[in-house]
Amino acid sequence: MTAVPAVTAARIAVIGGGPGGLYAAVLLKRLAPDREVTVWERNAPDDTFGFGVVLSDETLGGIGSADPDVHAALAREMVRWDAIDVVHRGRTLTCGGHGFAALGRHRLLHLLHERCRALGVTLRFRTPAPPAAELARTHDLVIAADGVNSRTRDAHRAHFRPTVTTHRCRYIWLAADLALDAFRFEIAETPHGVMQLHAYPYSRTAGTVIVEMREEVWRRAGLDRCDEKSALDQCADRFAATLRGSPLRTNHSAWTAFRTVVNAHWSHGNVVLLGDAAHTAHFSIGSGTKLAVEDAVALAAHLDRAPDVPTALAAYEAERRPVVASTQRAARASMEWFENLAVHTGGPPHRFAFDLLTRSRRVTHDNLRLRDAAFVAAVEDEVGVPPGTPPMFTPFRLRGLTLRNRVVVSPMDMYCATDGTPGDFHLVHLGARALGGAGLVMTEMVCVSPTGRITPGCTGMYTPEHERAWARITAFVHDRAPGTALGIQLGHSGRKGSTRLMWEGIDQPLPHGNWPLVAASPLPYRPGVNQTPHALTASGLAEIRQQFVRSAEAAARAGFDLLELHCAHGYLLSGFLSPLTNHRDDAYGGDLAGRLRYPLEVFDAVRAAWPADRPMTVRISATDWAEGGTTADDAVAVARAFAAHGADAIDVSTGQVVPDERPDFGRSYQTPYADRIRKEAGVAVIAVGAISSWDDVNSLILAGRADLCALGRPHLYDPHWTLHAAADQSYTGPGAPWPTPYQAGSRKPPTGRRA
């Protein structure tokens, strides 16, 4: 006879009676009726903050699988709708097909209370829980579901290692007795600044209303000094179009700033964090209760099948952490979009609405078209996208150069040159990508002198041999891939030079044959590893400026269509721009104007040497991802300065300036910087960074966040990425012509057993 294993975690304490804690108690008791499960809630049963709760179909599906009884009770109570209204400057634009379900928070808690009692869970209201450490001695498992202000988390900070970030907007949760039939965003442009309303129904007669604005707008409007009635009256007046005369009401409501909670660890011994205690994600993507309920489902499932509590908690965190991290990235993108709402309001109405709907990068051009094709068609018509043409295949003009589509092959160092001379590898590499359909193909960083190289394998443009080799490549592209533009990126390595090839040790100094380095200031890239550069003197600055000019003149003779000045990633010109790498006390240091001086001098000299009808772009690092470094505000000012001096576009990258950077990686993670520069500086931008799908490119272009999108790794994986993107979208127009010898391959070949 097979022995039945003992129930994992026979005695469980739950701290916090919100939806996550209650649902965890329900599932754990349902899976093992002999378990003793107790919930401590310091407030009364009907005390709660907020009004409505939105749950996705995915979350409801998980609830249905985990506990059909709770799912059935929710299904009977929830209101459903599928439209989003965007109200801005007197117009209401509606986009359908989204699918929402919500109910009142009081009602959700009541249903979970009933289910807990039916299963035999002990509920202790108006009873603060004993400290988690004390409960841990008498229980097999302690679930800390005690919210964003978790006392459990704070009591064990040394282990959980929380990071709590307070953000820039003030908001308040309110409600109104009105029948909404859509998720509604309303924008109010007031004398104090921009305010926004988020509203959605949670019953057939009532809706949640959230009013949000930047901290400085909140103060200028006097809301920091208003009593409750005056604040409600002002909010009701600002958003009269949505409220239609319905008064606003509160429920323990107060103006607050959203805080993002991240923990290095979610469990400590037999104590585990759940929901807002473990993580938060901004309400603009409706995720708080959703994440807590999904946590509960995952925790219960792992406790049900794991041999012991530590194994279950490790598996729970391993499953949930990547899901939560993805949600937090999307929530941060959404939150920052609203924080910078004033930047977005000036666009045409349909594009503004599309920008709002795709702000988190989870909703894209393609799936929005599936939800509401007519809405997307109206956006495309408004911005001049021809019918049947994906936005990425619309042309774009830079000075005298018209690109046939919006795709750029990013500059990618290949480290395959010999004494700076590009060879057959570069001909094949760049030629293949030019044949692959992109509108613009960029070279790697081409160095302006032997000592300006990053590695011995880097290309250059400082000898006649280099010019002849590059001319061979441009001739091939123009002859065999007509319509493809070829751009050269000129740069100088600065303090990041004299290093090994990337695959031999990135940023590691050469084992022998090192050359002396120069930079804005005598600061090594990594102290004790990289050599200390010499700070450039007036003569050195003049010499390097002239090297850039000579390289630009050679690039023009070699036939390049566009020139990009590399002022990013910690190389020489970037080193002047960043306060972390420029410590000069002369005219080329100090404030941003001083730090800009030399890069602008180089730009002006190159622009004068470069043919007037050919465009010039500048690549910048819009943030150093490090304290005290370049900020997003600085980036806008830098972009404005280069645009004023004649830059046709800004190529907006980030980081790689200092080794101790902490980038916030994620899908399209650098595009918000490009978006802000485009809208505030009024200059065309190239967006880069983890843009990998044609759907991303279409979304960014149509939303007006970028004019061009540069992709690197996707073009290493597939040199014909652009042509394949056209084929995937059944596009055969002028934005993506197949080279004549390749036309037989313009359709995806059959797979499997298909004849």
Which residues are known to be catalytic? 571
Bridge partners, 403 (sequence order): 396
* Block residue for tokens 């949000």: 212
Residues 278, 274: Cα–Cα separation, whole Å = 5
Residues 350, 548: Cα–Cα separation, whole Å = 44
- DSSP annotation of 67 reads -
Which residues does 34 contact at the CB level (< 8 Å), separation at least 6?
Answer: 7, 10
Would you call 137 exposed, middle or buried from its count of C-beta atoms within 10 A (0-12, 13-18, 19+)?
Answer: exposed
Would you call 212 exposed, middle or buried from its count of C-beta atoms within 10 A (0-12, 13-18, 19+)?
Answer: buried
User: Nearest-CA neighbor of 244 among 286, 173, 181, 164?
Assistant: 181
Residues 207, 102: Cα–Cα separation, whole Å = 10
* Amino acid at site 64: G
Q: How far is CA 221 from CA 185, 217, 687, in A?
A: 20, 6, 36
**For 23, what's the count of Cα atoms within 13 Å in the CB-facing half-sphere?**
31
Asked if residue 429 lies in contact with residue 471, where contact means CB atoms within 8 angstroms, the answer is no
Report which secondary-structure segment, H or E, holds 440: strand 440-447
What is the sign of the dihedral through the CA atoms of 172, 177, 183 and 184? negative
User: Nearest-CA neighbor of 511 among 520, 524, 521, 498?
Assistant: 498
Asked if residue 707 lies in contact with residue 685, where contact means CB atoms within 8 angstroms, the answer is yes
CA 35 to chain centroid: 43
Report which secondary-structure segment, H or E, holds 71: helix 68-77
Is the backbone of residue 356 left (phi > 0), alpha (psi -120 to 50) or beta? alpha
Residues 224, 513: Cα–Cα separation, whole Å = 64
* Block residue for tokens 């208003």: 226
Expressed in angstroms, the distance from the first to the final Cα of the chain is 55
CA 535 to chain centroid: 36
Read off φ and ψ for residue 557, nearest 5 degrees.
-65, -35
